[in-house]
Amino acid sequence: MTELKPSLLDFTKKELLDIIKPSFRVKQILGWLYHNYASEYDDMKNIPKSLKEELAKKYIVNPLKIIKKEVSSDGTVKYLFELQDGKTVEAVWLKMKDDVYDESGKLIHEAKYTICVSTQVGCKVGCAFCLTAKGGFTRDLSAGEIVGQVVALKRDNAHKHNRKINIVYMGMGEPLDNLNNLAKAIEIFKEEDGLSISGKRQTVSTSGLSNKIDQLGAMDLGVHIAISLHAVDDELRTELIPMNKAHNINSIIEAVKRFPIDTRKRVMFEYLVIKDKNDDLASAKKLVKLLHGIKAKVNLIYFNPYPGTTYNRPELKDMLNFQEYLVKHGLLCTIRDSKGIDISAACGQLKEKNKEIS
C-alpha cells in the first residue's frame, strides 16, 4: 500500500507555526500556497533553499494532479484528479452567473463561480441513482486533498485568490462520513492568510446522517447545510438511499430543526427528480407537509442518466408542475439548471469513463 505523505495543505496556520520556524516564513508560505497557487517548492522564490529541503523530507506541496478534464458548452468544467496512491476523484468548476457590463462596456459585476468538491474516494452510502456507489468505498480524503481540489481549480482557471467563490461539498462521497477532515478543510478555507472563504460561502450536502448533522452543528463552523432528501416517504427513500433504514426521514428533519443557521438563510433540501418515481403532485403535497415549520428552500434537480442506470430524466412539464405546487403552498423552490449536460455530468461518470479507457 502506498504511504501517503502529508501535504502542506493539510495544515492550519496554527499547525504550520509549530512546524516552520521562524514564524514569519509561515505567512510567506501561505501566500505561495493560496495566493500564488504554488504546486512545487521550487515555485516559492523567497523561501530559503535549506528550509524547502527540510520541509520536502516530510511534506509534499500538492497532493493531487489533474489527469483529465472535460469542458461543457455552458462553461462547466469537470476535473478528474489522481492522488498520491493512484486513486482518483472528481471536482467541478461551475459558472453560476456571467460577467455583467454597463452600456459603455465597463464591467460592473464579475462572473460568479462555484466549486463542487469530493470528500471521499468512493462512498459508503450506496445510493441507487449514484454512479459513485458503483465502485464502492475506498478511503476518506485528507483535509489537504479536499483543499487541494479548490486550489487546483482556481489555479487552472486563473481565478485570483481574493475573488469570491462558493464551495459545495457535493462531489464524490458523503461529507459527514469524513467529518473531522471536512471540518478541518472548512477551517483552512476560512483562514484570512489563505483563501479567506467564509463559512457562509460553504455548503455541506449530506444524504442524511442525522447524528452527524448534530455533530456538525455543534462545531459551529458557520456553514450552510443541504439535505439530499429525494423522497417523501421512507419506503421510496430506502430504495434510493439504503442508509435511510438507519437514518429515516423523521430523524433527519428533527436534526435539521436543531441545526444552527443564520436566521436570514434557509435550509436547502435537494430533491433529485426521477421520472415516474417521485415527480408526481402527490409527492409534492407530501413534501409541503414534511417541511412545514422549517425555513426551507427546495432545489429540484434533474436526474442525469448514465450508462447502465434504470432511472430516467423527468419531463420538463412535470418539473414545472411540481415547482408550481410547492411555490403556491409557500415554499421557495428552484429548478437547478443542468450544468455540463453535454459532458460527464453525473457524479462519478468521468472517473468511470477514465477506467474504461485505461
Ligand-binding site membership of 304 (annotated): yes
Closest CA to 82 of 107, 63, 104, 103: 63
Cβ contact 30:193 at 8 Å: yes
Contacts 24+ apart (CB under 8 A), 196-201: 196/161, 196/162, 197/150, 197/165, 197/167, 198/222, 199/223, 199/224, 200/224, 200/262, 200/265, 201/164, 201/165, 201/166, 201/167
Distance, in Å, from the CA atom of 345 to the CA atom of 348, rounded to the nearest integer, reads: 8
pTM given for the model: 0.91
Task: Specify which residues 204 forms β-bridges with.
Answer: 169, 225
CA R_g for the chain: 21
Buried-exposed string 150-169: b where 16+ CB fall within 10 A, e elsewhere: bbbbbbeeebebeeebbbbb
Ligand-binding site membership of 248 (annotated): no
Cβ contact 309:91 at 8 Å: no
Ligand-binding site membership of 290 (annotated): no
Q: Which of 90, 145, 270, 352 is catalytic?
A: 90
Is 347 a residue of the active site? Answer: yes
Q: Is the peptide bond before 305 cis (omega within 30 degrees of 0)?
A: no
Distance, in Å, from the CA atom of 6 to the CA atom of 142, rounded to the nearest integer, reads: 9
Ligand-binding site membership of 173 (annotated): yes
Ligand-binding site membership of 135 (annotated): no
Which amino acid, residue 1?
Answer: M
Closest CA to 227 of 242, 247, 199: 247
Residue bearing cell 462553461 = 75
Residue bearing cell 460561502 = 201
Is 333 a residue of the active site? Answer: no
pLDDT in tens for each of the 358 residues of the chain?
A: 567 899 999 999 999 999 999 999 999 999 999 999 999 999 999 999 999 999 999 999 999 999 999 999 888 999 999 999 999 999 999 998 888 888 888 888 888 999 999 999 999 998 888 877 777 899 999 999 999 999 999 999 999 999 999 999 999 999 999 999 999 999 999 999 999 999 999 999 999 999 999 999 999 999 999 999 999 999 999 999 999 999 999 999 999 999 998 777 899 999 999 999 999 999 999 999 999 999 999 999 999 888 888 899 999 999 999 999 999 999 999 998 766 666 555 555 555 555 544 4
Ligand-binding site membership of 127 (annotated): yes
Buried-exposed string 100-137: b where 16+ CB fall within 10 A, e elsewhere: eeeeeeeeeeeebbbbbbbbbbbbebbbebbbbbbbeb
Domain annotation for the chain: domains and CATH numbers: 1-62 (1.10.150.530), 63-357 (3.20.20.70)
Ligand-binding site membership of 205 (annotated): yes
Q: Which of 145, 270, 333, 347 is catalytic?
A: 347
Cα→Cα distances 137→11, 87, 140, Å: 25, 11, 9
Q: What is the pLDDT of residue 29?
A: 98
Ligand-binding site membership of 228 (annotated): yes
Ligand-binding site membership of 229 (annotated): yes
Cβ contact 87:95 at 8 Å: no
The DSSP bridge pattern shows strands 88-97 and 64-71 to be unpaired
Q: What is the pLDDT of residue 339?
A: 63
Distance, in Å, from the CA atom of 352 to the CA atom of 26, rounded to the nearest integer, reads: 39
Task: Specify which residues 60 forms β-bridges with.
Answer: 7
Ligand-binding site membership of 230 (annotated): yes
Contacts of 14 (CB under 8 A, 6+ apart): none
